[in-house]
Amino acid sequence: MATNGSIFGAMLQEFDGAARILNLEPGIWKILTHPKRQITVSCPVQMDNGEIEVFTGYRVQYNITLGPAKGGIRYHPGVTLDEVTALAAWMTWKCAVAHIPFGGGKGGVICDPTRMSRRELEALTRRYVAEIIDAIGPEKDVPAPDVKTNDQVMAWVMDTYSMHVGHTSTAVVTGKPLELGGSLGRREATGRGVMIVTRESAKHLGFEIKGATVALQGFGNVGSISAELLAELGARIVAIADWKGGVYNGGGLDLVKLTDHVRQRKTVDGFSGGDPLTNEELFKLDVDILIPAALENQITMENAQSIRAKVVVEGANGPTTPDAHRHLHERGVMVVPDILANSGGVTTSYFEWVQDRYGYFWTEKEVNERLEAKMCEAFGAVLQNSLKFRVDLRTAAYIVAINRVATVTRMRGMYA
């Protein structure tokens, strides 16, 4: 597989570093660096103007050694097979770090959902699902929402699959509306996981979360819930920036008022409870904790030198470039990697799948308690490996993940 300049190539670089430390045998190395299955489909849809458009869709099942493939479906004009394959690989490692019985998958359709009607989106979703129907299912591959797909799209996925198999099958997909077998606590799960690993990092580094200062980039699903839950622990949320700008208040931002402001203005920019702040300034703040929870590639060699936080918790996927990560590690800044830090979402997706298969639903308290236990277990395993092999937490997370998948691969043996 060609890897030059590709996203999949970037995934392989991270993989190789950890595999080398583990002394992974060449055969297993080969297996774990090849996608198990890549499906490409053409989805004809009659548009509202009567014309027929054909959309290209992908579903990649990178590795299903530990269980059914798990991963979102994204709708975006820039979707490529290379990107979907890399994302499916990252899901494999994320599920393995989280210690849940799932492999890694990802799907994508090349389209611009912002320019499509609800009817067109439903037609596209149903046709895409029909095209990949033999490959998905509660035992095979369980999709979820991703960029520009939501619980309504998941409801259409679930309905289309159910119509094909002839009975209602809620466990085929997660991230569903509650009424359709969704899980309590799923919406808050990623932010809750971020809060838990932040709290555990502070414990490890020996500082109190109570009174610690926090700056966040992003105040969407992940950022806002992380901020809220850290504030509940007594942390002081001093700065938040988003797509339009940011706000700073050394005494701590009033999150209730800020949430209200964002509901009305769709941005934290212009909030009267603090001083204006740019995204560039946010990364330079003298805070204890920095949480990038917006986009990829936000911490680069341009701003890594100015970061003064003790710990960076990657709420977003891929917010730190590899060279910036190396720089932070060398300077002694702890970076909690994305595949660990934001794995609360997929862990609660696993809980949703379990509840659907049982047909018995847990209280929010039960979901949160189970998430707490899983996140602490994952953090502990990664930290232990980081100390054992004297490596950064990202490499340690890969070591944990690769070890788990490789062990089961060896036990299962080679089918031929």
What is the strand order of the sheet 246-248 is part of? 275-277, 246-248, 236-241, 213-217, 289-292, 311-313, 334-336
Strand runs labelled E in 165-225: 213-217
Indicate the residue among 221 and 300 with the shorter CB distance to ligand NAD.
221
Closest by CA position to 337, among listed 360, 357, 317, 364: 317
Q: Is 242 an interacting residue with respect to ligand NAD (CB under 6 A)?
A: yes
Closest by CA position to 222, among listed 334, 102, 341: 341
Per-residue binder mask for ligand NAD (CB under 6 A), 115-154, x = binder: ----------------------------------------
Beta carbons within 8 Å of 351's beta carbon, 6+ residues apart: 183, 185, 186, 362, 367, 370, 371
Residues 304-323 that bind ligand NAD (CB under 6 A): 315-317
**Residue 125 DSSP label:** H
Least CB distance from residue 222 to ligand NAD, whole Å? Answer: 4
Q: Is 107 an interacting residue with respect to ligand NAD (CB under 6 A)?
A: no
Among 58, 93, 219, 362, binds ligand NAD (CB under 6 A): 219
Binding residues for ligand NAD, rule CB under 6 A, total 20
Q: Is 303 an interacting residue with respect to ligand NAD (CB under 6 A)?
A: no
Among 125, 190, 321, 368, binds ligand NAD (CB under 6 A): 190
For 184, phi and psi rounded to 5 degrees?
-60, 145
Half-sphere exposure of 397 (CA within 13 A, CB side): 24
Residues 222-241 that bind ligand NAD (CB under 6 A): 222-223, 241
- Asked about 106 being catalytic, the answer comes back as yes
Q: Is 276 an interacting residue with respect to ligand NAD (CB under 6 A)?
A: no
Among 342, 355, 368, 386, binds ligand NAD (CB under 6 A): 342
Q: Is 105 an interacting residue with respect to ligand NAD (CB under 6 A)?
A: no
Q: What's the token pair of residue 192?
A: 């809750």
CB-based closest residue to ligand NAD: 220
Other beta carbons within 10 angstroms of residue 245's beta carbon come to: 17
Indicate the residue among 106 and 127 with the shorter CB distance to ligand NAD.
106
Q: Is 71 an interacting residue with respect to ligand NAD (CB under 6 A)?
A: no
Beta-ladder partners of 41: 57
Least CB distance from residue 41 to ligand NAD, whole Å? Answer: 24
Indicate the residue among 160 and 348 with the shorter CB distance to ligand NAD.
348
Q: Is 80 an interacting residue with respect to ligand NAD (CB under 6 A)?
A: no
Closest by CA position to 192, among listed 29, 336, 343: 343
Q: What's the token pair of residue 301?
A: 């060699």
Burial-class residue 331 by CB neighbours within 10 Å (0-12, 13-18, 19+): exposed
What residues make contact with ligand NAD under the rule CB under 6 A? 190, 217-223, 241-243, 279, 293-295, 315-317, 342, 345
Q: Which residues are catalytic?
A: 106
